Structure 1
Amino acid sequence: MRIIAGQNRGLRLAEIGAGDPAAHLRPTTDRVRETLFNVLRNWIDFQGLRVLDLFAGTGALGLEALSRGAQHVTFVENGRVGQKLIGENIARMRAQDRCQLLAQDATKLPPGTPCDLVFLDPPYGKSLGQQALRSAWAQGWIAADALVIFEEASAVTPEGFVLRDSRKFGGTTMTFLQPIQAPAESDER
């Protein structure tokens, strides 16, 4: 895996290796990431964006956004193997001052700063992505005009979001969403 474009173009990311079979890491391939970011560059300007990468795995999506000009990325990953890989990849990019790693469950987020771009790559078919999105919304992590990219086996449009587009890549569907309402007050705050 490598960074596709931007100031860190070509940088090789940490190897997953055999790793821990229980980690269930399923990183977005370079080819799919390149296609995704080609779509995104037609919709958004990465300069100065705040990014939230939920179920971050290796952190490749957030780091790609950072390489293209994002101001800050918050990675959320509860797996130790993923946390280690994200830490290594942040160090390889020398981006420690522009990144934060929350080593916790993405479905139970603390209050946060609104982000303009949200990546969501949960384990497929377990509704964890919808739970994490609700938590992020309720805790203030998602800006009112944010773009959310939700990876799942099929297109997903959670309540409170509108479908902007959907693209299929083999067994992965990337659903592009935007909020349609202001965050509701929640007991999670």
Structure 2
Amino acid sequence: MSQGKKQQNKKPATGSIRIIAGKHRGRKLPVLSAEGLRPTTDRVKETVFNWLMPYLYDANCLDCFAGAGSLGFEALSRGAAHINLIELNKAAAKQLLANKALLKADNIAVNNVDVLRFLNTQKQQHFDLVFIDPPFRQNLVSQTCELLENGWLAKQALIYVETETDGDQPIPNNWQLLKEKVAGQVAYRLYQRT
């Protein structure tokens, strides 16, 4: 068999994410293996959603670097009103659409676009909760935060930021740090816009 045929038959490696709580509790969703894709671990996700529990119900959410959709699908399961997933990787975005169909979730929008380009477009809505969990070592956090401040955030929006522990990036001055934790090489923080 030729090398070309071998590659055509080779399917991308897959894994899964698990929804921890809420309407879809225990549900596993398939995830494609893609470069830079790091689904948030269950341990971190559990902590983050304990922080967010009082704010989730009926929230309008934006997941800036959706990847596997771990944070967005968890928010949906726990009562968020609408989730907007932004994912640049075409195969990952296609998997997000497939998982949206699996959950029969018509309150999820999947956008296969660069998040910085998306945030530079006409603002159509304000988000109550935003997840920023970009690929590491690409300095995307500060640019994303800056663009969010151009009319995308609700008055007292909550912003979850996940970065590598050695990657300190500037955050807008009007964002107050509410919670902060480190797990291995990952630092995760919850801010509130004031």
**3-state SS, counterpart of residue 15 of structure 1:** strand
Alignment partner of 1:7 is 2:23: yes
Question: In the alignment, residue 83 of structure 1 is paired with which amino acid?
Answer: A
Q: Deviations over 1:139-162 (max 9, x none)?
A: x22111011000001365512322
**Unaligned segments of structure 2, at least 5 residues:** 1-16
**Cα deviation, residue 126, structure 1:** 2.2
Calculate percent identity across the aligned residue pairs: 37
Q: Deviations over 1:43-92 (max 9, x none)?
A: x2322110000111011101101100000000111111220221122112
**3-state SS, counterpart of residue 14 of structure 1:** strand
Match of 2:65 in 1: 55
Match of 2:75 in 1: 65
**3-state SS, counterpart of residue 45 of structure 1:** helix
1-structure distance, mates of 2:171, 2:49: 22
2-structure distance, mates of 1:93, 1:148: 25
Question: In the alignment, residue 59 of structure 1 is paired with which amino acid?
Answer: G
Single out whichever of 68-77 and 31-40 deviates more from structure 2: 31-40
Which residue, out of 141, 144, 156, partners 2:155? 144
Structure 2 counterparts to residues 69-80 of structure 1, below 5 A: 69-80=79-90
Structure 2 counterparts to residues 16-35 of structure 1, below 5 A: 16=32, 19-20=33-34, 23-35=35-47
Match of 1:45 in 2: 55
2-structure distance, mates of 1:10, 1:156: 35
Judge conservation of contact 1:156–1:175 (CA < 8 Å) in 2.
no
1-structure distance, mates of 2:180, 2:20: 22
Match of 2:111 in 1: 102
Q: Deviations over 1:93-138 (max 9, x none)?
A: 110x201112111112222311111100012232212111222221
1-structure distance, mates of 2:83, 2:76: 7
2-structure distance, mates of 1:179, 1:34: 23
**Unaligned segments of structure 1, at least 5 residues:** 181-189
Q: Tell me how many residue pairs correspond in the alignment.
A: 172
Higher Rg of the two aligned structures? 2
**3-state SS, counterpart of residue 133 of structure 1:** helix
With the length of structure 2 as denominator, give the TM-score of the two structures.
Answer: 0.82
Structure 2 counterparts to residues 160-179 of structure 1, below 5 A: 160=173, 161-179=175-193
**3-state SS, counterpart of residue 113 of structure 1:** coil
Which residue, out of 145, 150, 153, partners 1:133? 145
